[in-house]
Amino acid sequence: MIIFAIVLICLCMITFPNAKINLGLNVVSRRADGYHNLETLFYPINLCDALEFVLAEQTSLRVVGSPIADDIEQNLVVRALRLLQRDFDLPELEIALLKIIPMGAGLGGGSADAAFMLKMLNENFQLKLSVEQLEKYATKLGSDCAFFIRNTPVFATGIGNEFTSVELSLKGYYLALVKPEIHVSTAEAYAHVACQRWNTPLLDVLAMPIEKWSDYLFNDFEISVFEVHPELAVIKQKLYKSGAVYAAMSGSGSAMYGIFKIKPKLNFPNHHVFMLDL
């Protein structure tokens, strides 16, 4: 009994999946397969969920901080487990997930949870999968899941699944995230976005001083999403008035963020506000 308890403790794993923001998002064109070609920069931030598991006779999932579907097999974390179980002799698990990253916010919370589950399974059960192999598995779960395997700033193209590493650091700045009680449907956002290629390529814009980003760095979803949810545009303007050197919507929304040189005092009643160091 003591030996079993020691083994169980050793196989209790915990990890902290983090969110990301999009620095610029150019919807370049619509593809023949119905998806869209994108150009964006994924930047990891230190807003984290907590994910853990222990051995169990039957897989279960407990989520705190967010509603969960009746069928846990549809959850990305469980799907990550099932994906590796197809190729490896992995046990059933009791999984617990504490959600801090808001869902449906354009912050990649669900994708991060899935990717970190893959990494945790690989480490704990010594599957010896390489980073490249983990990325291939992650891509099967979602177009941006693979980003969270290396979890470093990347220039993303294709449908958001082709990555090129970039040297970009916002260390020393502060990030304010504002998440209103608004849900933006990703399908609806794509249905109304106007495809175009920017005059100044995204990487050229990001090479400019951050003070110039507001004139050249855009999120193409903002035009159509702000028409439906004008309060998001109000949040963006309030971030600028509070001293942000750059402010934008992340992904297809609805989280808005501002980058500050000096830690601001913000007043966004009835909204979720996170203040982070970059």
| β-bridge pairing 36-48 and 50-55 | unpaired
Reply yes or no on whether 204 is catalytic.
Answer: no
* Spatial separation of the C-alpha atoms in residues 109 and 99, rounded to whole Å: 8
Q: Which of 119, 144, 179, 236 is catalytic?
A: 144
3-state secondary structure of 106: coil
Inter-axis angle of helices 109-124 and 131-139, nearest 10: 140
* Spatial separation of the C-alpha atoms in residues 190 and 221, rounded to whole Å: 8
Q: Which of 20, 99, 119, 236 is catalytic?
A: 20
Instruction: Give me the half-sphere count of Cα atoms (radius 13 Å) on the Cβ side of residue 61.
Output: 23
Sheet harboring 154-157: ordered strands across?
Answer: 18-30, 36-48, 154-157, 162-165
Reply yes or no on whether 277 is catalytic.
Answer: no
CA dihedral 10, 49, 164, 261 (to 10 degrees): -130
Residues serving a catalytic function are 20, 144
